Amino acid sequence: MIFNKRTFFILTKSVILGYLVISNCFAIDNPNDTDLFIEGESLENTIDKQIKASGNAVLIKSGNRIEADTIVYDQISNQLKAKGNVNLENRNSRITGQELILNVDESIGEIPNATFDTDIKNEASINQSIRGNASKLTLQGENKTILDNAKITTCEVGKTDWFIKGSKINIDNMTKSVDATNALMEFKGLPIMYSPMVNFSFNKERKSGFLSPTWGTTTRSGFQAKTPYYFNIAPNQDATVTPRYMGKRGLQIGGQYRYITNESEGEANLEFLNNDYMTNEQRYLINLKHKQRFTNNFSGFYSYQKVSDNDYFADMSSLVSRTSRVIMPQELGLDYINKKDQWSVGLRVTKFQSLTTSSPYEKLPQIFADRKDEFFGIESLSRFDFTEFDANNSHNKDVQNNLKPTGSRFIYNQSFSKAIIENSYSFVKPKISFNYRNYDTNHSLSTSSESFFIPRVSVDSGLYFDRSLDFFGNSLTQTLEPRAFYSYTPFHDQSMLPIYDTRLTDINLYNIFSETQFIGYDRIEDTNHLTAGFTSRFVDATGAERVALTFAQKFYLSDRNVLNDPVYSTADSSLERSSSDFLFGGNARITKHLTFRSMTQYNPEQNSSKRVAYGFKYNPQDGKLLKFDYRFIEFPSSNETRLKQFNISGQWPLGQGYYAVGRYNFNLDNSKVIESLGGIEYDAGCWSSKLVLHRLSLATEEEPNYSLWFQLELGGLGSIGTGKARKLNRVLMRNVPGASWASTYDDDIRKQNYE
């Protein structure tokens, strides 16, 4: 063997490195790409050509650490050959086999009969790393790997519950994506899906591929199976195609397309069933939405929703957000907003498909303009609105079988307000407004025209006090915030006018300090009332509100004649009284994780509570949630119960990876279940499964719909696309707000439940 200074330097380092390895203290954090570290029980060197290490050989270069029985390194081509117990580590990955050919600098090479792991340091989140084996593993750089006749999984070592087999599998560790040819997915030894080509990601990035399949059964549609496929078309576009087989109805194809650009965004949802086995008819749903920005100030939109028949949602869905739908709006709109001059102008054309025996009035068209000004500290608000109302062709008669009135309505509302007192402890803000209406109404065989002008004045005022106090050693700040609101509107007879889009709301803590109980423009309530109330808060040293109490009551100083219209005769129990019901609301943070809220509406004359609502919420961490709510409502003019129900819902870990979730909503008045849900989830880390039983009362049918759903989510595959759009996620979030499936939780929380 011939020695020179370079060889002596390399061998010296090899001896030192060998000693450090034996001492279990060897570590190189960031080796320089130009450095070569090699060691072995014996070393052979051909100067400037080749180095051979035998016996527990180790070579470190360009971030790669290679261990083998024998390593031969060519210094000219930077290529090495390793044999026997080969172990290749690069950053956080490991590949093992019996032979290795590798260009060290470019990380290009191959290993026959290889095994691999992309997260040997356990730095990745659960379900974020891939491991497996292949008859041949080809490296094409630091982040790209090709596997022949391979098996891959995201399960931890010793727990291969599922894997994908493929004749060829490409892994891109930079984009965390996988492409497989002739892919067969097996779970617990059973094949569950085959595809000639498949691609997916094993992180949270969007990637084309199959979403988690769902199986289940419902009362109205029988056994169901859904296997959505997600298309990641572009960074600003995606689509999902969902074949859905229903045992009682047939094969339905659903699709969703979404897009967003600098000037537009939109979404198209379609469902089509060519022949329903039970009705022998085509069934479909169309839901199109689009927004367009023409200039910085000018924009438009359209929304078109339609179903094939009135029973579509009752037959095809088990989501209350869909089964409760009885109106399908179809709307076109244009908007012009000038922020500099505070102008807002709009055009709306609105039609409806009604799935019941009634329908809102259609607006053909509506033109409106709003303007906000301020001068000398006076705030001015202007509203102009012209609407042509037409009755839906299928619902153009009232309950007496008379044609509904139609026609046009023009409104002009103008208000002026100014805070004459406004400081840290008080405010007084008077307001004056003017309301003009003009109606041209078409009755069955006649027309009429009505106009009127009604002024209104109001004053809103309040004070703020606070004091410090000590409560069992805790420093608190208590506030006292009294508030008084006065409003006066003279009476004008409006009984001859139609009611197009206006309704009377119940009094509550959100609207008691307002000028009117009406929502809409067809009725202007005559008022002469004073509302008095106060709020007291208890705030701790951190600024968190521990307790908040609110009391309020409205005092009527004259009769309210507009509400004497027969339409509203039973709408409010306080029509003939000098005061409204007494309102009380309270919220409390009992502990860091336990909260309480309540609201009571009490009628002192009838000595009864007209409305009661309260609830508890316990949420110590993600995955641990318990909620209880109670609601009670009486009819305003009597002591008869209108609604009396309680709701219990929650989610809780059971240990060993199991979570329970449930909801029970019960009507105490008629002893009927309104809605219930029970489910269990098993989180195995690299996969999870969900079993959910759901009972739902339908808006268009007397008999409830029962649904049983099962979903298997394999680690990594479940993050394809947008999970929140999937059925079981929507069912869970609506029935148990604040809950979510275990795969969305932090790893630390998930691991706590494995024990």
Q: For the segment 559-580, what is each residue's pLDDT rounded down to a tens digit?
A: 888 888 777 765 554 556 788 8
Model-level pTM?
Answer: 0.78
User: What's the rounded Cα separation, in Å, for the pair 448 and 438?
Assistant: 11
Task: Tell me if 86 sits within 8 A of 98, measured CB to CB.
Answer: yes
Q: Which helix (H) or strand (E) holds 445?
A: none
Q: Is 563 helix (H, G, I), strand (E, B) or coil?
A: helix
Burial class (CB in 10 A: 0-12, 13-18, 19+), 542: exposed
Domain boundary (400, 418, 444) is at 400
Asked, for residue 728, whether it belongs to a domain, the answer is no
The answer to whether residues 253 and 319 belong to one domain is yes
The answer to whether residues 179 and 233 belong to one domain is no
SS3 per residue for 243-262? EEEECCCEEEEEEEEEEECC
- The pLDDT value recorded for residue 247 is 93
Asked, for residue 689, whether it belongs to a domain, the answer is no
- Report the sign of the C-alpha dihedral through residues 634, 640, 643, 648, in that order: positive
The answer to whether residues 225 and 171 belong to one domain is no
Q: Is 728 helix (H, G, I), strand (E, B) or coil?
A: helix
Quick one: DSSP state of residue 124? Answer: S
- The pLDDT value recorded for residue 34 is 58
Q: What do you get for the CA distance between the two ends of the chain, in Å?
A: 59
49 lies in which domain range? 5-192
Reply yes or no: is the peptide bond before residue 455 cis, omega within 30 of 0: no
- Tell me the one-letter amino acid at 691: L
Q: Which of 493, 513, 602, 606 is nearest to 554 (CA)?
A: 513
The answer to whether residues 239 and 90 belong to one domain is no
Asked, for residue 254, whether it belongs to a domain, the answer is yes
The answer to whether residues 187 and 230 belong to one domain is no
The answer to whether residues 15 and 143 belong to one domain is yes
Q: Which two tokens stand for residue 482?
A: 């009294």
The answer to whether residues 145 and 261 belong to one domain is no
Domain boundary (380, 400, 420) is at 400
Buried b vs exposed e over 495-527: b needs ≥16 C-beta within 10 Å?
Answer: eebbebeeebeebebeebbbbbbbeebbbbbbb
C-alpha of 273 from chain center: 28
- Say what the alpha-carbon torsion angle 550, 556, 557, 559 is, to the nearest 10 degrees: 170
Burial class (CB in 10 A: 0-12, 13-18, 19+), 688: buried
Task: Please state the φ and ψ torsions of residue 340, each to the nearest 5 degrees.
Answer: -65, -45
pLDDT tens-digit readout, 305-342: 999 999 898 888 766 556 667 899 999 999 999 988 78
The answer to whether residues 159 and 230 belong to one domain is no
Task: Please state the φ and ψ torsions of residue 742, each to the nearest 5 degrees.
Answer: -60, -30
Asked, for residue 396, whether it belongs to a domain, the answer is yes
- The pLDDT value recorded for residue 674 is 86
User: How many domains are there within the chain?
Assistant: 2
Asked, for residue 256, whether it belongs to a domain, the answer is yes
- The pLDDT value recorded for residue 156 is 80
Rg from Cα positions in the chain: 35
Asked, for residue 423, whether it belongs to a domain, the answer is no
Beta-carbon contacts of 303 under 8 Å, excluding residues fewer than 6 positions away, are 288, 289, 290, 329, 330, 331
Helix segments in 497-615, DSSP class H: none
Q: Which of 341, 336, 388, 345 is nearest to 370 (CA)?
A: 345
Task: Tell me if 466 sits within 8 A of 478, measured CB to CB.
Answer: yes
Please identify every stretch of the chain with a pLDDT value under 50, giving residue numbers as ranges: 1-31, 573, 718-725
- Report the sign of the C-alpha dihedral through residues 8, 11, 17, 23, in that order: negative
The answer to whether residues 35 and 170 belong to one domain is yes
The answer to whether residues 177 and 240 belong to one domain is no
Asked, for residue 696, whether it belongs to a domain, the answer is no
Q: Which two tokens stand for residue 101?
A: 């050919």
Asked, for residue 559, whether it belongs to a domain, the answer is no
Total number of residues shown for the chain = 755
- The pLDDT value recorded for residue 319 is 63
The answer to whether residues 168 and 315 belong to one domain is no
The answer to whether residues 188 and 224 belong to one domain is no
User: What's the rounded Cα separation, in Å, for the pair 32 and 50?
Assistant: 20
User: What's the rounded Cα separation, in Å, for the pair 172 and 474?
Assistant: 56
Q: Which helix (H) or strand (E) holds 156?
A: none
